[in-house]
Amino acid sequence: MVIVNSSPIITLAKINRLGLLHKLYGSVIISEQVYEEIMSKPAYTEAISIKQAVEDGKWLKVQKSGRIDGVLGIGESSSIGLASKLKQPLIIDDRKAAFIAGTFGIECHGTLYVVLEALKKRIIKNRKEAIEVVNQLIGNNLYLSAETLSEFYPMLNKIKIP
C-alpha cells in the first residue's frame, strides 16, 4: 500500500501510466483533498482516468485525512497526514513537503522512484522505455530539477536488466 499526492498521480494518469502504481503497490490511497483537487477539472483526461479507477473500487481508494499544520498546501498537508495516520510510504514530488514528511518519520519517494521501481520489476521493460516515460512526464508538466535528473540517470544505469 502507498499514499500518493496529486502531482505524481495526475502526471502518471496524463501519460496513461496510472497502472504503474497499481502494479507496484497493489493498493493506492489518496486523500479526499487530493481527489477534490483532481476533480476540480472533471473533463481532463487524467481526472476521468482517476475517477474511473476510484469508482471501480479495486485498487485506488479515497480516504478522509487530517491535515498537518504548517506552510504546505492542502493536498500535500493531507497526504502527509494520511501517510502518518496509516504508517505507509508517500509518493510526493515536492521537496519541501517530502522534507517535512520525513520529520514525521514518513518514507517518501517521488515519481521518478516509481519509474525506477517499475523498471526493476520489469513492469517497464527496459531503460529506453523508462527514459521515454520520464520524457513524457516532463512533457506533461512534471517539474524535475537538473539535480533530480542528474541523480536519476546514474540510478537508472545501475539497474541490472537481463
Spell out the domain ranges in the chain.
Answer: 2-111, 115-158
Cα separation, 36 vs 42, in Å, equals: 10
With a threshold of 0.85, does the pTM exceed it?
yes
Q: Looking at the domain that runs over 2-111, which CATH code has it been given?
A: 3.40.50.1010
pLDDT of residue 161: 84
Beta bridge partners of 105: none
State pLDDT tens for residues 35-94.
999 999 999 999 999 999 999 999 999 999 877 667 788 999 999 999 999 999 999 999
User: Please, are residues 2 and 29 in contact by the beta-carbon 8 Å criterion?
Assistant: yes
- The per-residue DSSP string of 9-42 comes to HHHHHHTT-THHHHHHHS-EEEEHHHHHHHHTST
pLDDT of residue 4: 98
Query: If you average pLDDT over residues 103-111, what whole number do you get?
Result: 96
pLDDT of residue 69: 67
Which of the four pLDDT bands, split at 50, 70 and 90, describes residue 100?
very high
